[in-house]
Amino acid sequence: MQNAAHRFIIADDHPLFRGALRQTVEKFFEGSSIIEVGTLEDVSAALEREDDVDLIFLDLTMPGMRGFSGLMYLRAQYAGVPIVIVSGNEDPAAMRSAIEFGAAGYIPKSLGIEVINDAVNTILTGGIWTPPDVDISGESDAARMAQRMASLTPQQVRVLMMLSQGLLNKQIAYELSVSEATVKAHVSAILQKLGVESRTQAVIAAAKIEAGQWNAAEVA
């Protein structure tokens, strides 16, 4: 058991898995407060209400996430809160991309509950945790994209996600309660920061971000 009480968010759209993860976390971190949510929107709402969250357990495939775009939005909007991905995807490339896009750890769902204790303690002390028997070293185009993405504001990340959904400027403006001129300014800034020349290329970039398969040559 851990001595210090913590506040965690478990974000997954499967109630049974949330419940199992909650029991595991409570076993190792007695007295901690745990918030359960099932969508990206609910994660944001919880973070707006709570200003002292220690760690988010995040599923990449729940509603609103759009792959790594959701992770990057949360990292941009709530930079002080570490995120550990809990996923059924055990591809080392996905793990590497998640870390490059800002996650503090990656826990495959197939691993036993004993890794939760080690992973969380590593992250809470400022470390990065991935399965010790998985090699995620090597160069990745996603790392360069992550550096570019880090320069986007939270609102620009949201606009980019909406562009990838095929929304027009007018629709984006309505969703964000801003003017079309503001959306156009965001789009221009996104193109410049991502190093692309057109809205179409930005959409291609967004698709690559979601899949964690960024390749600058394909949108240049």
- pLDDT at residue 1 above 90? no
Model confidence band, residue 215 (pLDDT cutoffs 50, 70, 90) = very low
Q: Which of 83-87, 118-122, 123-127, 215-219 has the lowest mean pLDDT?
A: 215-219
Report in angstroms the alpha-carbon separations of 152 from 33, 79, 141, 187: 32, 13, 18, 11
Q: Taking the domain 141-218, which CATH number applies?
A: 1.10.10.10
Q: Taking the domain 7-124, which CATH number applies?
A: 3.40.50.2300
In the prediction, which pLDDT does 112 show?
A: 75
Strand duo 55-58 + 105-108: pairing: unpaired
In the prediction, which pLDDT does 10 show?
A: 97
Report, as an integer, the average pLDDT of 51-80: 88
The domain limits of the chain are: 7-124, 141-218
Asked if 82 and 35 touch (Cβ cutoff 8 Å), the reply is no
Question: What is the four-CA torsion angle of 192, 198, 203, 208, rounded to 10 degrees?
Answer: -60
- Run of H or E including 47: helix 40-49
- pLDDT at residue 96 above 80? yes
- pLDDT at residue 205 above 90? no
Report, as an integer, the average pLDDT of 66-70: 82
Report, as an integer, the average pLDDT of 54-80: 88
Could you tell me how far CA 44 lies from the centroid of its own chain?
A: 11
In the prediction, which pLDDT does 9 show?
A: 97
Q: What span, in angstroms and rounded, lies between the C-alpha atoms of 63 and 86?
A: 15
In the prediction, which pLDDT does 138 show?
A: 66
Q: Which of 43-57, 100-114, 128-142, 176-190 has the lowest mean pLDDT?
A: 128-142
Model confidence band, residue 20 (pLDDT cutoffs 50, 70, 90) = very high
In the prediction, which pLDDT does 197 show?
A: 86
What is the biggest distance separating any 2 CA atoms in the chain, rounded to whole angstroms? 54
- pLDDT at residue 145 above 70? no
Closest CA to 98 of 174, 211, 219: 211
